[in-house]
Amino acid sequence: MKNSGKIKLFIITFLLVAVRGFSHPHIFMETSLEINFNRSGIDGFWVEWSFDPMYSASLIADFDSNSDKKFDKDELEKIYVDAFYNLVEYNFFLYITDGGRLIRPNKVTDFSAFIKKGTVFYRFYTPFRSEGFRTEKEITIGVYDDSFYCDIVFVEKNPIKFLNNQFFYYEFELKQNEDKTIKYNNSFQTYKKKGRKYPGTANPFELNLRFRIN
């Protein structure tokens, strides 16, 4: 890795961790979820993020050391250590409620990163077990940064998918959590995601999932 790349990465990491109180947002992300069932209930879920062009370009410049437009094994390890795992401090931006109980994951597995048409994607698995019953059960999953340093929205096309769900009946919807209002400093906001307004407050969207055994 070039020294200039290390300096840029240090600046990005410093901004993300140390100055989360200044003007927001700075990084723009889209997310999707894949809920994985087993015979007992939910076993966990896959999370996928894609990053805005500016942050994607920074990641590519810093980690695609051979400029082949993909991340090899060594490059993936560096991304994991230097540009992902520190997010454990923020529970990977995940908020889960199960039976009214808030759960903040501190462990994920199977991390990968890839480049598609100049956009960097992260993908990882979140272990989370929720047993299914004959009566309906409800969980919610939110993916958001409560400082709004990162603006995270669900993708428009197929934001939620389900795996191994043949033993369960389920219904779901994505809706804004009106009880959760994020306040942030939108002063000097020069870079905005197309079609989005940044008035200084935001209500995150969450997956609301109800399921039961067939």
pLDDT of residue 4: 43
The span from the CA of 34 to the CA of 46, in Å, is 5
Q: How high is the pLDDT of residue 188?
A: 67
What dihedral angle (degrees, nearest 10) is formed by the CA atoms of 150, 154, 157, 158? 130
The answer to whether the CB of 50 falls within 8 A of the CB of 193 is: no
The per-residue pLDDT of the chain, averaged, comes to 89
pLDDT higher at 2 or 101:
101
pLDDT (0 to 100) of residue 3: 45
What's the CA gap between 40 and 106, in Å, rounded? Answer: 23
Higher pLDDT, 2 or 150: 150
Q: Is 150 exposed, middle or buried (0-12, 13-18, 19+ CB in 10 A)?
A: buried
H and E: helices and strands count for the chain: 3, 13
pLDDT digits (tens, 9 = 90+) for 85-115: 999 999 999 999 998 899 999 999 999 999 9
pTM for this model (two decimals): 0.88
User: Which DSSP string do the residues of 122-173 spell out, in sequence order?
Assistant: EEEEEEEEEE--SS-EEEEEEE--TT-SEEEEE-SSS-EEEES-TTEEEEEE
Residue 74 has pLDDT above 70, yes or no: yes
pLDDT for residue 191: 65
pLDDT of residue 2: 44
Q: Minimum mean pLDDT among 43-57, 84-98, 173-187: which range?
A: 173-187
Domains of the chain: residue spans and CATH: 3-13+27-213 (2.70.170)
